[in-house]
Amino acid sequence: MPCLAIDPATMVTSLDDLERAGYAERTRDPQDRRRYAVDITDDGRKVLAGLNRTLVGLDSEILTALETTERHSLHALLSSLAESPVLTSMFDTVREQNSTKRA
């Protein structure tokens, strides 16, 4: 299961918003009643599909000066950077500092 590296309080707030909007729903995990399973609703799928279309359009508009192969290279490089231990460590450090400030 992928790790999103999102602060639990932020995740709960985000899920509350998504659930209130009708885009997601939480149910108790049948394997572990202490946990919730989160599912996307039909409305959530529709909104997500629309947002993905918008992002593809923005991607094309913003990167119009690049050839297709250059776009693919840029995406690959940015994905590698996003997954790098150095960057994820920096995010973890900032998140821990913010958690300490709130406590």
Name residue, tokens 């920096």. 90
CB-based contact 41:23 (threshold 8 Å): yes
Residue 5 binned pLDDT confidence (cut-offs 50, 70, 90):
low
The reported pLDDT for the residue numbered 4 is: 67
* Residue 35: burial class (beta carbons within 10 Å; 0-12, 13-18, 19+): exposed
Q: What is the pTM of this model?
A: 0.61
State the average pLDDT for the chain: 85
Residue 42 binned pLDDT confidence (cut-offs 50, 70, 90):
very high
